[in-house]
Each structure stands twice: as structure tokens, then as C-alpha cells.
Amino acid sequence: MSLIDAVARLGRSAIDLVVGLGKAGLMLWGAIAHRPRLRKGTPLLIKQLYVIGVQSMVIIIVSGLFIGMVLALQGYNILVGFGTEESLGPMVALSLLRELGPVVTALLFAGRAGSALTAELGLMKSTEQLSSLEMMAIDPLRQIVAPRFWAGVISLPLLALMFTAVGIYGGHLVGVEWKGIDSGSFWSILQASVEWRQDIVNCMIKSLLFAIVVTWIALYRGYHVTPNPEGISRATTQTVVQSSLAVLALDFLLTAMMFGQ
């Protein structure tokens, strides 16, 4: 009976989804629901901040600069038709703060750091390093997963802020230095339209939530990998695809909640 088979397949994938969500939730709970151990935890966290945060800085800053410059150039070409090219400042700053900063940083972060996390954890799992840690009575969730999670959650908002700041200066570079918009008008109109609560705080809330989602997906995919080369490759791909889609969907929800009215 092919119809029954189809229904069964649907049911199986639904059960798999719920089981996956449960496993991911349990993994995160096991990793972060502990009293913090500052003496032992801090060196592990610093190591991961280096791998996840510092090593992502170059790509984030370069992308931020170029995206800000391209945004300013395209915006200038349209605004100059209305004689309002001074409004370039708020256009660049608000698009970066409200959308591009958090979203593009999260997408780049998923590609740069998320895939690396999954591959690293996946290989640890495949070579049974995680099981041998458990045999030595060391909880791999606390020793391996937790520092990576916290490092991701700390790094991504900082990277998003750097991206946005560099992007605004990229826009300034094109708008003021190249296209000759008056520097005072650029900044004064920009400052008149950027609000602390509405724009900067929302930018940070967005990037914090993206950080949790991207790091969580990457760690879950690596921790529950099928322990063979093909499994690791599939898990790495899934990390990038799923966290990108999750970021974009979540971004729409957050934007609707923050700016919908």
C-alpha cells in the first residue's frame, strides 16, 4: 500500500524532527546548565574565543567595508536623482544597523566558524575522543561543547558591531571622500535618524539571537554526527544550510516584531 507508506514516511520524519529537537535541547541544557567554574572554564573559553572570534575578524571587517561602500554607491546613484544625496548617511547606517549588520555577519559566521565547529566536533565523535573523555569521568558537554557555545554567543554580537561600524565608515568613504557629499550633512542627518533604543539595541538583540541559533545548530550537528567521513561531510553542509535558513527566517520574525507596527 503506497498511500500507507507515504503516511508512514511523513510520520517518521515528524518523529525524527521532534527527536532531533529534543536531543539538541538536552545537549544545550547539559552544556550550559551548570554552575560556572571560572578557574577551569576561562582558559577553555579564551581558546575558543580565539578560534571562533579572532579568526573570523578579517573576513567580517573586509566584508563590512565593502558592503558599506557598495551600499553607499548604489544609494547615491538613486538619491542624486532627487537631489537628496545627503540622506545617504541614514540610508547606509539604518540598513546596516537594522538588517545587514546582524544578518550578513551571522551568515558569514555560519560559513566561517559554524562549519569548522561541526567538522571539529564530528571528527572528535568519529574517532571516539568524546567517549574516551566520558570514560575518564570528564563530561564532554562541559569540557568541549560549553566553551564553544559561549564563545560563539559572545563573538557574534561583537563581530556584528564591528561589521556595522566599519560599514558606516565604508559608506562615509564613498559618499563623502569620493562623491563629495558634505561631511557635516552626512553625519548630522545620520545622527538625527539613528536612535539608541530602536536601532542599536535591536541590532544587538538580533545578533545575540542569531548567535545562539547558529552556534547551537553547529554544535548539535557535530555532536550527533553519523561517525563516518560521509556523515561529517553531510553534517557540515547541513550546518551551513540550516543555520542560514534559520537566520533568515528568524530575521523576518524579529523584524516584524520590532519594526512591524
Partner 1 sequence: MLTRKIEILVGLFLLSGLAAFLVLVFNVANVEVKSGDSSYTLHAKFSNIGGLKVRSPVKVGGVVVGRVSAINLDPEKLEPVVSIAMDKRYHYFPETSTLSILTSGLLGEQFLGLTPGFMDDDVELLVDGDSIEDTHSALVLEELIGQFLYSMGSKD
- The residues binding partner 1 (CB under 8 A) are 43, 46-47, 49-50, 53-54, 57, 82-84, 86-87, 93, 97, 155, 157-159, 161-162, 164-166, 168, 182, 184-185, 187-192, 194, 196, 200
Query: Could you tell me the smallest distance in angstroms from the CB atom of residue 185 to partner 1?
Result: 5
Comparing CB distances to partner 1, the nearer of 24 and 173 is 173
Checking phi first, is residue 83 left (phi over 0); if not, alpha (psi -120 to 50) or beta?
left
Query: Could you tell me the smallest distance in angstroms from the CB atom of residue 226 to partner 1?
Result: 33
Query: Could you tell me the smallest distance in angstroms from the CB atom of residue 164 to partner 1?
Result: 6
Comparing CB distances to partner 1, the nearer of 164 and 242 is 164
Comparing CB distances to partner 1, the nearer of 73 and 194 is 194
Task: Please enumerate in sequence order all residues whose Cβ is within 8 A of that of 67, keeping only pairs 6 or more positions apart, or say none.
Answer: 96, 100, 104, 163, 167, 170
Place of cell 572528535: 124
Comparing CB distances to partner 1, the nearer of 13 and 183 is 183
Alpha helix (H) ranges present in the chain? 2-32, 38-48, 57-79, 88-95, 101-109, 115-126, 129-135, 140, 146-172, 183-193, 202-223, 229-259
Comparing CB distances to partner 1, the nearer of 27 and 166 is 166
Query: Could you tell me the smallest distance in angstroms from the CB atom of residue 79 to partner 1?
Result: 10
Residue 243 to residue 214: CA distance in whole angstroms: 5
Other beta carbons within 10 Å of 150: 20
Query: Could you tell me the smallest distance in angstroms from the CB atom of residue 218 to partner 1?
Result: 19
* Cell output for 150: 559561549
Alpha helix (H) ranges present in 136-173? 140, 146-172
* Cell output for 80: 542624486
At position 211, the amino acid (one-letter code) is: A
Comparing CB distances to partner 1, the nearer of 65 and 246 is 65
Query: Could you tell me the smallest distance in angstroms from the CB atom of residue 160 to partner 1?
Result: 9
Residue 125 to residue 145: CA distance in whole angstroms: 12
Per DSSP, 128 falls in state: T
Comparing CB distances to partner 1, the nearer of 34 and 47 is 47
Query: Could you tell me the smallest distance in angstroms from the CB atom of residue 78 to partner 1?
Result: 13
* Cell output for 254: 524579529
